[in-house]
Structure 1
Amino acid sequence: MAPIDSTPAPLRLERSGGTLERRKGVYIAQLRGSYSEMGRQHGELAAAACGDIVPQYVNQLVRKLVAHTLPSVAAPAAALLKAWFQLRNREELGADMREQLAALAAAHGFPSAMAERLFMVPDIFHYLAGRSFAALAPPPSCSAFFAHGGATRDGKLLIARNFDFFGRGVWNANNAFIVMHPRGGRSFCWVGALGVPASGQGFNESGLFVGLHSNFPNDVSTRGVPIFKIVHDILAECATLDEAVARVTVRPRTCGLSLFIVDTRARDAAVVGYSARHAETLRPENEVLVRANHYVTPPMQRFEVGPHPWRANSVGRMRRITELLGERRGALDAGGAPSILSDIVDPFEGRRVLVGNVVAAPHNVQSLVMSPDEDTVWLAHGDLPLCHSERYRGFSVSALLEGDESRYETGDLSGGGQLSETERAALLEYEEAWSSYMDHLDYDRAVFHLRRGAELTPEESVFPRMAGILLLKEKRFSQALPLLLRNAEHEHRDPVNRAEAHVWAGRCLDLMGRRAEALAQYDTASKLDAPPVSAAAARHLEKPFRRMDLFHVMPEFMLGTGLAKY
C-alpha cells in the first residue's frame, strides 16, 4: 500500500483584491493597497481558508500560561495584562498599523481592540520574563546563523533559522508567506501563520532579512515600541543594514529581544540585542554570525534574569551551531543547512539526546533556509519539530515579492535525517505530551504519552524526568518517585543534569516524609561542581523541601526539565 501524502491540496482564493494560494502545503497571500485594504484582504482570506483559529490561539496564550500557575485568576489576569499593554502602547502602533489591525479584526468579526492586543502578546511574554515570572513567560526560542564567503561552498550567502513558538497543530498547520504591497511603498513578506498580522521573521524587496530571538533582561517597561512594530518598520521602510540597526534603537522598547538582521545585497549582517533602554550590536566574525537567546557582551549580560536552564540551553545551541559551521567551513551549502537546524547533540552531555540543550527544539514551528544567490527560500512543513521534516519546500524569493504565481515553486531540499524511526515515534509521544499539558491542561494524558515515549527509548532520561516532575507538581508523590529515581540512576554526563536529577528525587522523598533518603540524594548532588544546583542541594541538607515550595516548580517541556528556585 502506497504511503498517504498528507500535504493539503492546492488552493486559490480571491477576496477584495487580495489573493491566497496554497502550494506544497504552504499558504501564499498577496495583499495590495492601503494598510486598511490589506488588513481586510488578509482577514477575509484567512477566514475563508482556516477561520480565525490562529489569532484566537495567540489571543488565548497568556491565559493558558497563567492557568498553569493560578488557574482561578487566569482569564481576568490575562485580560488585564492585554488591556493594559494596549492602553499604554496603542499610539506607538501608528495610524497605518491601527487601520490594518482594525480591518483584519472586522473581517474576522471581532473587535479591533482584540487585534491590537494580539499584536502585543510577544511584548507581554517578554515583559513577564523580565519580571522573573518564568512560569508565565516563553522558553528560550529560536536559533539562526548567517554564513558567506570562505565559510560556504562557492562563497554563497546562506541564512538558516529555527523559529520556536507555541501552537502545535495551529501555527505549523497554517504556515504562510504573507506578502504585503503597500501602495507607494516597499514590498515585504512575513514568514508566519495565516491570520496573524506579523511574525518572527520576514524579508523585503531591498534584500533585508529579519528574525526575532527572545532575550530575558530585567530592563523592561510597560511602555515602548512593540516588538512587531519595530520589525514591520524595518521591513517596510529600511533598505540597508545600517538603516535597520538604527531603527531598532531609535526609541525605547518594552522588553528584551534580539533582531537578527541580514543585508543580502551588501552581504553583511548584525545582531541587535536590546532591552527596554540598552542594546548591544554584534557583527560577523570569520564570515559567520550565530544567535540564540543570551546576550554576549558584559554590559548587557548584567541585565539578564531567568532560571539557569534558560541560559544553559541558549549557550548550548549557540556553541553547537558554531562548532558545526567550523567543521563545515568552505563546504557548507543550502543542502547542508537542514542537518544543522535539526542537530540533536547536547554539547554539555556530549551526545545525542531527543530533548535538551539542542538546536532542534521541541517547539520548533518554522524552520527556514534562504539562499539569496539562488533566489530561493526553503520552508519545512509537517508536524513539530518542523526542523525534523523530511523535506524543506522551495519557493522563489523574487516570485513571492513580485506576486508571480508562475514562478513560485523551486526545487526542495532533503531534511537533516537525524532521527531513526523509533526516535521519531518517541519524539511524537513527547510532542503529544506537551500538547496535552500546554493546550489542554491534561496532566494525566501528558504522563501517559511520556510513559509511552520511555518504552520506545529507555535510554532517554527526559521521559521519566518530565513524567515525574508533572506528577510531583500534582502532589502524586508515590507515582512520581519511581520515575524520578530512574532519572537519578541515569548516567548523566553533565554535572548540572546529574545534580538536578538527585535534587528532584530528594525533593519528592522529602514530600513523602522520607527525610533520611532525601538527605542521601542531596548529599550526592551537593558534592558535584554544578552551580547553582549543588548549592541548592547543600541548603536542602539543612532545610527540607516543603509542599508550599511546589508553587515555584514549573514543568518546562522545551528544555526537558523543571524550573524551580535554586
Structure 2
Amino acid sequence: MKIIKKIFKIFAYTLLVLVILLLAGFTYLVIVAKEPNPKISDAKVEALQRTEKDGLYYIGNNWFRKSKSGLYEMYVEGEPFERGVINGKLSKELIQRQEDVFVSQIRKMIPSTFYLHFLKYFIGWFNRDLAKNVTEEYKEEIYGESLTASTEYDYIGTNYQRILNYHAAHDIGHALQSMALVGCTSFGTWGAASADSTMIIGRNFDFYMGDQFAEDKIVSFTNPSQGHKFMTVTWGGFIGAVSGMNDQGLTVTINADKTAIPAGSATPVSLVAREILQYAKNIEEAYAIASKRKMFVSEAFLVGSASDNKAVIIEKTPEQLAMYDPKKNYILCANHFQSDLLGQTKENKEQMEKSASVYRYERLTELMQNNGPNTVQKTVNILRDQKGLHGANIGMGNEKAINQLIAHHSIVFEPQKRLVWVSTSPWQLGQFVCYDLNKVFAMHGMKENHEIVDSALTVPADSFISTSAFKDFVLYRSYKQRVADKESINIDSLTASNPEYYHTYVIAGDYLFKQKNFAKAKEEYTIALTKVIATKQEEEHIRRQIAKCEEELAHR
C-alpha cells in the first residue's frame, strides 16, 4: 500500500511539474507573440477620407480603381505611415477580403480550433524577432495599412500583429515544410539575345493559396517620400514585393530554393525585395541591400538593371550570399542556385536532385535556343508553355512545365523602356496589359475614372482558352476539388479529363484507396508511374501506396 501511495505521489508531483512547465511555456508564448504598435509622431492622416466617383476612389493625388482587364490599380505617395493609411483606406475592401480568404484557407488545412490557437502562439514564438528585422519605415507603413483591417480576427492577434506576420507567411511555410512553396520560373535576354538589343525579363509567379487568393490582384504604383518610384504586382494588405520594377529601370523577381529549418525569424524575403526596388538603381546597390539583411529562408533574387544593361541572380541563404553572373547575354532561373559558392550546398544539390527545378530549367533552355532573338511576344509564349522536354505532353498542370496553370501572376519587363506587361486571368492565359511607368508616374492624381494601360501594346490572350483541352482542364480541377471535399466522383471521367498527367492517377488511386478498393487503386498508381512525375517525393508516395495496396490484398 505504501508503495502505491509513493508511486501516486511521484506521479502527482510529475504531473504538477508538467502543468507548471506548460503554463510557463504558454505564458511565454503569449508574451513573445505580442508586438507593440509603432510610435507615430503625426497621426493626423488617420482623419483622411476617400472620395468615390464612378468606381474611382481617391484621396488627394492617391487613387484606386478596377481596370477593364480585371486588375485593380493603385497609386500611393508620401511618408511611410501616410502611405499605409491611404493604401488601407483606398483598398479597405480588398484588404479585408484577402484576409478572409487567407484565414479560410488556413482553416481548411487546420480545421481544429485548438490547433489553430496553438499555431497562433507557435508562429508568435517563431516570429518573436520579426519586428527587430523590419525597418521602422516598413513597420509604420504596415501599421497604417492595418488600421482598416477587419476586427473579426482579433483572436489571432491585433490588426498590426496579423498584417505584419502575413508578410512572413511565405517564409514560414517555406521553412516549416523545408521545400519551395512556389515553383517559379524567370529569365532575361539583352544584347544579341534580344531582337532589338534591349533587355527583356519575364517571370511566372507560381504561388498558390487557392483560387480566391489570386482573384484580386493589384498593380501598385508607389511614389515614396524617400527612394525611387516603383511598381509591384501585389494583393490587399501586402506592401512587400515579389515582382516589380522601379523608375530607374531596375527589376526584381524572387525564386525560392530549398532551405534548412531555421530557429527563428528574420527579414521576410518580400521586404528585402521591396527595399531593393525602392532604394537601388543598379546591381551594385541591390547587392549591398541584400547583404545587410538577415533572412531565414533561401531565395534567389533575379535583378535586371537598365543602367548595367544586364541581369544577375543574387543568391541568399540565412548564412551566405553570392551573385551569379552568367557572363552571357541571357540569364535563366528556376528554383535552384547556380553560383559556385551556393550551387554546391547540400540543400541545393538535394533540390536539384529531387524537385522539378532542373527539368524546368532544361525546358526553358530548350525554348530559348529554338526561339531565336527574343521579343516580348516570345517571352509571353515561353511563360505560357505547358510542354515537357522536346515538346512532350506531360499533362496539364505538371510542376515540371514552365506554365503549371496555377500562376498568381505572370509579368514581362522592358527596363530600358520602363514598360511592364502584367497577365490577366485565367493565370497567364489572358491578355498581358502594358503599363508605361514614365506615363503613370507623370500623372498628377486621378479625379476622373479612366484606363491607364497602353492598349496598343496589349499581348492577346492565349488561344488555348478556346480549346476543348482547356475545358477538360477546368473539369479536371473540379473533380480534384470534389475529391478534396470528400464528394463522390466517377474515376473514368476524372482520368479522361487529364490523361497524361501523373497526378490525375494519384488522385484516382488515393480516392479508391480510401474506399478500400485496393486492387483498382494499385492499377491507378501503377499508371501514374508511367507518366512524367514532378518530384522524387511524389514518386516515393506513389510507390509507398502501391506497397500498401499489395499488403492489404495479401491479407485477403
Q: TM-score, normalized by length of structure 1?
A: 0.77
Conservation of the 8 A alpha-carbon contact between 1:161 and 1:369 = yes
Structure with max Cα Rg: 2
Structure 2, gaps ≥5 residues long: 1-52, 152-158
Q: Distance in 1 between matches of 2:440 and 2:129?
A: 36
Opposite residue 131 of structure 2, the aligned amino acid is R
State how far apart, in whole Å, the 2-side matches of 1:307 and 1:101 are.
36
Structure 1 position 230, deviation (Å) = 0.9
Name the structure 2 match of 1:377: 420
Q: Which residue of structure 2 lines up, in the alignment, with residue 80 of structure 1?
A: 121
Match of 1:123 among 163, 171, 186: 171
Whole-angstrom distance in 1 between the partners of 2:417 and 2:394: 32
Letter in 1 for 2:440: L
Q: Cα distance, 1:379 vs. partner?
A: 1.3
- Which digits, 9 at most, give the CA deviation of each residue in 1:36-78, with x for residues without a partner? 1111111112124x351113434565565456xxx57541343
- In 2, distance between residues paired with 1:451 and 1:365? 30
Residue 20 of structure 1, CA deviation: 0.5
Contact 2:522 / 2:549 at 8 angstroms: preserved in 1? no
1:326 equivalent in alignment to 2:369: yes
Q: Is the 8 A contact 1:215 1:257 kept in 2?
A: yes
Which residue of the partner structure matches residue 145 of structure 1?
187
Higher mean C-alpha displacement, 500-509 vs 200-209: 500-509
Q: Give 1:32's match in structure 2, choosing from 77, 88, 105.
A: 77
Give SS of 1:249's match. helix
Equivalent in 461, 464, 467 of residue 505 of structure 2: 464
Q: What is the alpha-carbon root mean square deviation over aligned residues?
A: 3.3
State the one-letter code of the partner of 1:395: Y
| Aligned mates of 2:465, 2:409 — CA distance in 1 | 18
Shift, 1:139, TM fit: 3.0
The residue type paired with residue 247 of structure 2 is E
Q: Please report how far the alpha carbon of residue 458 of structure 1 lies from its aligned counterpart in structure 2 after TM superposition.
A: 3.7
Change (3 A) 1:210 1:333: same
For 2:54 and 2:332, how far apart are their aligned partners in 1? 36
Give 1:215 deviation, angstroms. 1.1
Partner residue, 2:15: none
Q: Structure 1: where are the runs of 5+ without partners?
A: 1-8, 517-566
| Residue number in structure 2 paired with 1:476 | 515
Deviation for aligned residue 1:511: 4.8
Aligned match for 1:422, one of 468, 478, 487: 468
Distance across 1 between alignment mates of 2:125 and 2:512: 35
Kindly indicate whether residue 61 of structure 2 is the aligned counterpart of residue 22 of structure 1. Answer: no
Q: Distance in 2 between matches of 1:310 and 1:449?
A: 36
User: SS of the residue aligned with 1:512?
Assistant: helix
Structure 2: distance between partners of 1:464 and 1:449 = 13
Question: After the TM superposition, which of the residue ranges 235-244 and 187-196 deviates more from structure 2?
Answer: 187-196
CA shift for structure 1 position 317: 1.2
In structure 2, what residue type is equivalent to 1:267?
A: N
Do 1:210 and 1:260's aligned partners in 2 also have CA atoms closer than 8 Å?
yes
Q: Residue 460 of structure 1: CA displacement? A: 4.1
CA distance in 2, matches of 1:430, 1:298: 42
Partner residue, 1:286:
328
Is the 1:339–1:418 contact (alpha carbons within 8 Å) kept by the matching residues of 2?
A: no
Question: Quick one: distance in 1 between partners of 2:108 and 2:149?
Answer: 22
Of 294, 300, 306 in structure 2, the residue corresponding to residue 264 of structure 1 is: 306
Match of 2:268 in 1: 226
Cα distance in 1 between the residues matched to 2:530 and 2:464: 22
Q: What SS does the corresponding residue of 2:401 show, helix, strand or coil?
A: coil
Matches within 5 A, 1:113-512: 113-130=161-178, 139-218=181-260, 220-297=262-339, 299-300=341-342, 301-304=344-347, 311-330=354-373, 332-347=374-389, 350-356=392-398, 357-383=400-426, 386-389=427-430, 391-403=431-443, 408-410=452-454, 411-418=457-464, 421-432=467-478, 442-445=484-487, 448=489, 452-469=493-510, 472=513, 475-478=514-517, 481-489=519-527, 492=530, 503=543, 506-512=546-552
Q: Deviations over 1:391-421 (max 9, x none)?
A: 2122223223444667821121024445772
Distance 2:358 2:251 in 1: 24
Distance 1:61 1:360 in 2: 23
Instruction: Identify if the C-alpha distance between structure 1 residues 415 and 504 changes in structure 2 by more than 3 Å, giving closer, same or farther.
Output: farther
- 1:218-267, Cα deviation, whole Å (9 max, x unpaired): 16341322212211211121111111012112232111111111112321
Compute the displacement of 1:450 (Å). Answer: 7.5
Q: C-alpha distance in 2, partners of 1:25/1:210?
A: 24
Q: Deviations over 1:459-483 (max 9, x none)?
A: 44432222323554xx4331x6525
> Which amino acid in 2 is paired with 1:34?
E
CA contact (8 A) 2:182 2:207 kept: no
Q: Secondary structure at the match of 2:193?
A: coil
* Contact 2:512-2:520 at 8 Å conserved across structures: no
CA distance in 2 between partners of 1:105 and 1:366 (Å): 24
TM-score after normalising by structure 2: 0.78
Q: How many residues get paired?
A: 486
CA deviation map 1:114-147 (0-9, x unaligned): 11111111221122133xxx6xxx5342110111
Query: Residue type matched to 1:376 in 2?
Result: L
2:148 to 94, 107, 132: 107
Q: Structure 2 vs 1, CA of residues 15 and 247 (structure 1 numbering), >3 Å: closer, same or farther?
A: same
Aligned amino acid, residue 25 of structure 1: G
SS of aligned partner of 2:281: coil
Deviation at 1:204, TM superposition (A): 1.2
Say whether the 8 Å CA contact 1:43–1:103 is kept in structure 2: yes
- What is the deviation of 1:342? 1.3
Determine if contact 1:129/1:216 at 8 Å carries over to the other structure. no
Return the alpha-carbon distance in structure 2 between the equivalents of residues 449 and 236 of structure 1. 52
Query: What is the CA deviation profile of residues 3-36 of structure 1, one whole-angstrom value per residue up to 9, with x for unaligned ones?
Result: xxxxxx9831114752102222211111111111
